[in-house]
Amino acid sequence: MSTVVVSAHQVVEFPGGGGHFSAYVQYVHGLRELGCDVWWLERITPSGDHAADAHRIAALTARLEGAGLRDRLIVYSGESDERRSYLTLDEREAERIFREAELLVNFHYEIDTDLLRHFSRTSLVDIDPGLLQLWIDEGHLHVADHDVYFTTGETVGTAAARFPSCGLDWLHIRPPVSLAQWPFAKEAPSRGFTTVSSWWGDEWMTDGKGEPWYENNKRVTFLEYAALPPLVAAPLELAINSGPGDAADIGLLEGHGWRLRHTRDVAATPEAYRDYVRSSQGEFSCAKPSCMRLQNAWISDRTVCYLASGRPAVVQHTGPNAALDGGDGLARFRSLQEAADGINRIAGDYERQRSAARELAETHFDARKVAAAILDGALSARASQRSENASA
């Protein structure tokens, strides 16, 4: 049995993010379905409130137990071997697990080099295609050397990319969904087309010189499609992490017929998030402006959960992606009319589109296949390197 350590990012500090947890745990499910012994590794930034930090760790422990990772959580604080403190496991035991692990699957871009040195094989997974490469290229982010680099962006490292590869060889994978954990939903939907989304995070793209260039929050693109509800034959519902400063945006959307929810009401736990997705008729969602400008061919980890549930998706076109352009089960749009046409076409042929959505998930996003690609890409590269060293 291979031991794999998955290094997640900001899950323990976001106990109200059921969807955020779900994105990482799909990789865990895929690896476990292949027979791997998986450990969850995560850094916590102490808040100064020990009781609150302990509560966050306990909440993540409970969620991981539900995912089959009982007693498989390693939480640490500190940025170097000298300053690192382990909070859920003895230091010697943690470092023994690191040494014996076949692979680290790392989602924490700023993981410290000292920690990486404890592993025999390391891989980085890029879930922010285009943005990550720009952050590295412009010096906003220092990423320690890894043995293998994976990306969920179809155009990363190709001629179609509108951003640099940073001199790295990127291996392509797709966002995974556990087909066992997200089975085909047999029940009729109780709501229309929905999504769960961030809204405003004060995120801006710069011009490479540190000057703001354009706003990169999802509110920008959703507001471009504010007039969509009257054009479609299904209700549209949007769950966002809105605050008091978003009253004008909410008023505009509701005035056009959108139903608005808060993310805390539908996705505070993995179970609530799962129920919300599976009770929907399908997904309608926009992407951050950077996805269209950079043409990263991104698809959300949330969208593939809709597809696996047999809930078709209508999502914004983010660039050339062979897995997304078959036509049935998922529609991509570049304009208001294309968005309306996609929803109406799916709603008018719903049962066939439901089956096609599940087939898309089985063919392209099965967590077992994604996990196998990660293991093969990372460990076969190690075998090749060993062969080259032996020949030399």
Question: Where along the chain do its domains lie?
Answer: 3-176+367-385, 191-365
Task: Indicate the residue type of 153.
Answer: G
Q: Do domains 3-176+367-385 and 191-365 have the same CATH topology?
A: yes
Residues 316 and 149 sit within 8 Å (Cβ to Cβ): no
pLDDT band (50, 70, 90) for residue 390: very low
Q: What are phi and psi of 314, to 5 degrees?
A: -125, 110
How far CA 387 is from CA of 195, 348, 383, in Å, comes to: 48, 56, 6
Q: State how far the Cα of 381 lies from the Cα of 376, in Å rounded to an integer.
A: 8
Q: State how far the Cα of 194 lies from the Cα of 342, in Å rounded to an integer.
A: 14
Write down the architecture of domain 3-176+367-385 according to CATH. 3-Layer(aba) Sandwich (3.40)
Query: In this predicted structure, what is the pLDDT of residue 216?
Result: 92
Residues 6+ apart with CB under 8 A from 32: 38, 68
Tens of pLDDT, residues 210-268:
556 789 999 999 999 999 999 999 999 999 999 889 999 999 999 999 999 999 999 99
Is the Cα torsion angle 181, 187, 193, 197 positive or negative in sign? Answer: negative
Query: pTM for this one?
Result: 0.94
For the record, the structure tokens of 240 come out as 């966002």
Tens of pLDDT, residues 310-322:
999 999 999 999 8
Query: In this predicted structure, what is the pLDDT of residue 27?
Result: 98
Nearest to 355 by CA among 182, 186, 196: 186
CATH number at 191-365:
3.40.50.2000
